[in-house]
Amino acid sequence: MTAAALASPAVDRSRSRSSRSPLAALVAPLVLVALWQLTCLSGLFPPQVLVPPSEVGETLWSLALSGELERHVGESMFRLSLGYVIGAVAGLVFGATIALSRLAEAALSPFFLAIWQVPVIAFVPVLVIFLGIDEPFKIAIVALATFFPVALATFDGIRSVPKAWFDVARVYRTRLPDLIGRILIPATIPAVLTGMRVALTRAWVVLVAAELLAADSGIGQMMEMGRQMFRIDVVLAGVVVSGLIGFALDRGAKAIEHRAIRWKYA
């Protein structure tokens, strides 16, 4: 075996550590902010159209000091949390039902797949007509955005369990609680957690969009009010905050997913 071949694992580990370095993750955002600042200084766009990042930072600081940012973020996170829980539970139940029952699959699956193809934001006018623009509307749109990915992931996870496992459980007359706890849940949890992670970020995007269209508070509404008052700094501050929250939600969900399925890599 050559020296290069012996050194390659060490090189791979070094590259892997560097790729996971926190400093490496900051390179792209810092470059983007620098280009943003340089573009503002170049005068290509008037300051009413593109404000520099320093001004956006000052606006964020003033919004935080006044408590307005905390209020909008709190409203959005409350809607996200409640709607996500409702949609995730409904998706788990529905996905398990159509996966375990051929009759339920034949009756409900075509309608589910047809509705799944419709963008969630397209349901906003209908929901506004029935629910208005108060809290039930925002919670419902989050639940709807969460429901479909979780239901589909649950269905795929259960259907991917080998049929032989169920045959063995039937031979040994495994009770239903044991079948669910010892076979279904361990076998399907990786797919379900992935679906729930996708649903979380999708629900956040849909919520901000819904708040932009019809709401009286929240991050999206803060951005919309900034647009109406020609405060581009407020709009960009909302973009930064919503991006950071979405990033934090995805990282948090990924960490939970990794901890829950680390037995796969043991």
Give the position of tokens 């037995």: 263
Classify each residue of 147-158 as buried b or exposed e, where b means 16 or more C-beta atoms within 10 Å of its C-beta: bbbbbbbbbbbb
211/223 Cα distance (integer angstroms) = 9
Give the position of tokens 């400093």: 23
pLDDT of residue 6: 39
- pLDDT one digit per residue (tens) for the chain, 266 residues: 444 443 444 444 444 444 455 666 677 777 887 887 787 777 777 777 778 888 888 889 998 998 889 999 999 999 999 999 999 999 999 998 988 888 888 888 888 888 888 888 888 888 888 888 788 889 999 999 999 999 999 998 888 877 776 667 777 777 767 677 677 777 778 888 889 999 999 999 999 999 888 778 889 889 988 888 888 888 999 999 999 999 999 999 888 888 877 655 45
CB 21 within 8 A of CB 202: no
Which residues does 161 contact at the CB level (< 8 Å), separation at least 6? 183, 184, 187, 188
Give the CATH class of 69-265: mainly alpha
pLDDT of residue 264: 55
pLDDT of residue 39: 78
pLDDT of residue 22: 63
Alpha-carbon Rg of the chain, whole angstroms? 24
CA nearest neighbour of 149 among 94, 207, 77, 220: 94
87/193 Cα distance (integer angstroms) = 14
CB 222 within 8 A of CB 72: yes
247/239 Cα distance (integer angstroms) = 12
The first and second tokens of residue 182, run together, are: 């010892």
At 78, the amino acid letter reads F
pLDDT of residue 47: 72
Burial grade of 144 (CB within 10 A; 0-12, 13-18, 19 or more): buried
Give the position of tokens 């919004």: 63
Which residues does 242 contact at the CB level (< 8 Å), separation at least 6? 204, 208, 219, 220, 223
CB atoms within 10 A of CB 81: 13
The first and second tokens of residue 50, run together, are: 């593109």
DSSP reduced 3-state for 135:
helix
The first and second tokens of residue 144, run together, are: 């709807």
The first and second tokens of residue 230, run together, are: 């020609």
